[in-house]
Amino acid sequence: MPMTIQLSVKLYGTLDKWVPGYNPETGCLVHMAAQSTVADLIVHLGIPPRSVGIVSVNGRTVKKADVLPDRALVKVFHPIFGG
């Protein structure tokens, strides 16, 4: 089992303001410890957890407690409001 994992991360909405140097066209590569969760990634990126709505990993919606697989594509969306 690898000691670290590599993730491709794309941020949507206004979340990019929390990640200095984030490029919305390419996203960013993040290296984390193996067995890191979605919540760990959010903290690692410096995004306040309340600012996160939906997260998908490799096209599937996940929960914040879910463990991230190596080389995953993670999409993080801000909450959507409206009526």
CATH number for 16: 3.10.20.30
Categorize the per-residue pLDDT at 80 as very low, low, confident or very high, splitting at 50, 70 and 90: confident
On whether residue 82 sits in a domain, the answer given is no
On whether residue 33 sits in a domain, the answer given is yes
Q: Which of 6, 13, 3, 81 is nearest to 47 (CA)?
A: 13
**CA 10 – CA 16 distance, rounded (Å):** 9
On whether residue 45 sits in a domain, the answer given is yes
Mean pLDDT over 66-77 rounds to 98
29 close to 5: Cβ distance less than 8 angstroms: no
On whether residue 28 sits in a domain, the answer given is yes
Summarize pLDDT for 41-63 with one digit per residue, the tens: 999 999 999 999 999 999 999 99
Domain span at 44: 4-77
On whether residue 83 sits in a domain, the answer given is no
Number of domains in the chain: 1
